[in-house]
Structure 1
Amino acid sequence: MSKIKTLYKFDENFNLKDWQIVNDDVMGGLSMGLIQVNKEGFGVFSGHVSLENNGGFCMVRRNLERMPVNVYTKFLLSVKGDGKKYAFRCKSGEHQRHTYSYEFTSTKEWTTIEIPFKDMQAVFRGEELNLPNYHGDYLTQIAIIIKNGIEEDFVLEIDKIEIK
């Protein structure tokens, strides 16, 4: 049986400095996302995606100390959402420009999303790259993004993010 390592568990000790919001305002857009903890102790990534001014995404990310992950094969996300599509992303190097991405659709019930490393595609600014999928050697960043090409409000509750 594979060992499970928790990368982040939301709880009452949540530190906002652990996470960074990146909205499309970096390109002139008007989307607004935020991360907070609700009274039950779960992380809540929520906001509004706007398509105005070439906008269209909200992302929350956490930088990690570079760690080897070659003994693991997948991410486990414990989430409850709004039925909308999101993508989980990761980086294997601090100076790497592209990320590895895997799309999933949230449900209104708590669900554990299993994301095999081998199914995470290399992307840059939302475009797929002609590079191999995530090889799972090192990990330096995890992120969740919503970018469905429509104007919408969103709410995604997050309990924990693990690797197995």
Structure 2
Amino acid sequence: MGGAPAMRKPLFDFTDPDAATAWRAIDDRVMGGISRSAMRHAPAGHAVFEGTVSLERNGGFASVRSSPGERGLAGAQACLIEVRGDNKRFKLSLLTDDGFDSLNHQASFTPQGTDWQTVHLPLADFRASFRGREVTGAPPLAPANIRQVGLMIAARQAGSFELHIRRICLI
């Protein structure tokens, strides 16, 4: 069939060992909790978002976020993330500014089983959030303006976790 080729913008290709170094942990320690996480490159050629979520001291989430950069794609309709996990629920966050504590747009996903899979997250399903609470009336995500990308585990899922990631891209 004819037509224009699909737009695709790689946000992160974790087969590159340096891609994981652009990410930093932002855990519930910012609120007094004791959860811990990190993003590292695995020798098998992908990144691993891993750590431990603790509910002690009003905690309950662990997250990592990329450094700011030109990551947007005008007209993008979805985000694809190639992952395998431990059947826990994660959130992908997209931010349109360079701030540390700012509005972000989140969509949840749960990798099933231990095989690699590509999760398709329509941008229309991303919900505006600030400090873990949904923000009603916020403007929709503007895909051309994406500056930061984040991963989070929350929802009172205490214990250790591992999410393996090969790629994140916009389409």
Q: TM-score per shorter chain, which class?
A: over 0.9
* Structure 1 position 150 matched with structure 2 position 157: yes
Identify which of 19, 25, 29 aligns with 1:21: 25
Three-state SS of the structure 1 residue aligned to 2:143 is coil
Q: Decide whether the 8 Å contact of 1:66 with 1:94 is kept in 2.
A: no
Identify which of 127, 130, 149 aligns with 1:124: 130
Q: Decide whether the 8 Å contact of 1:118 with 1:135 is kept in 2.
A: no
Question: In the superposition, relative to structure 1, how do residues 30 and 68 fare at CA in structure 2: closer, same or farther (>3 Å)?
Answer: closer
Q: Decide whether the 8 Å contact of 1:76 with 1:162 is kept in 2.
A: yes
Query: When the two structures are superposed, what TM-score results if normalisation uses the length of structure 2?
Result: 0.89
Report how many residues are paired. Answer: 164
- CA drift of 1:136 comes to 2.1
Q: Among the aligned pairs, what percent are the same residue? A: 29
Q: Partner of 2:110 in structure 1?
A: 105
Three-state SS of the structure 2 residue aligned to 1:66 is coil
Rounded to whole Å, the distance in 1 between the matches of 2:71 and 2:52 is 33
Question: In the superposition, relative to structure 1, how do residues 97 and 11 fare at CA in structure 2: closer, same or farther (>3 Å)?
Answer: same
- CA drift of 1:16 comes to 4.9
- CA drift of 1:67 comes to 4.5
What is the Cα-based RMSD across aligned positions, in Å? 1.6
- Where does the alignment leave 5 or more consecutive residues of structure 2 unmatched? none
Q: Decide whether the 8 Å contact of 2:52 with 2:161 is kept in 1.
A: yes
More strand by share: 1
Rounded to whole Å, the distance in 1 between the matches of 2:6 and 2:19 is 29
Q: Which moved more, 1:10-19 or 1:107-116?
A: 10-19
Q: Decide whether the 8 Å contact of 2:20 with 2:47 is kept in 1.
A: no
Query: When the two structures are superposed, what TM-score results if normalisation uses the length of structure 1?
Result: 0.92
